[in-house]
Amino acid sequence: MPKRHFILRVVGAVGLATATWILLAMIRSFLPYSRIGDRITDLFAIPGAWLTSFIYPEGFHTGQGSLEAVWMTMFSNFVVYILFWYLFLIAWGAARHGKGI
């Protein structure tokens, strides 16, 4: 894979991950409460919460509450979104050019 394609995919994945993160924050903040919307945003938060659980096994309620766990969950979700979008862009590029992955 040429270096240019790699850089474009990484930049695209970071941009799409940022857009995903912002969209989920806007859904949670600005839309009226709904059980479906809450479940969707919780579903997208599961990967980060799962990764954080290895360091904070009791969750966010460790001791007096752990702000670090919240930040770690947000960062972990962002990294998972980057990985997801990077793999998606690879698959999409392969499908567009008729090549296997």
- Residue 57 within a domain: yes
- Residue 29 within a domain: yes
Give 72-81 pLDDT, tens digit per residue: 888 999 999 9
Residues near 96 by beta carbon (within 8 Å), at least 6 away in sequence = none
- Residue 101 within a domain: no
Which residue stretches of the chain are H helix?
A: 3-30, 35-52, 67-96
Number of domains in the chain: 1
Residue 100 has pLDDT above 70, yes or no: no
Give 4-54 pLDDT, tens digit per residue: 888 999 999 999 999 999 998 888 888 888 888 888 888 888 898 888 888
pLDDT at 59: 63
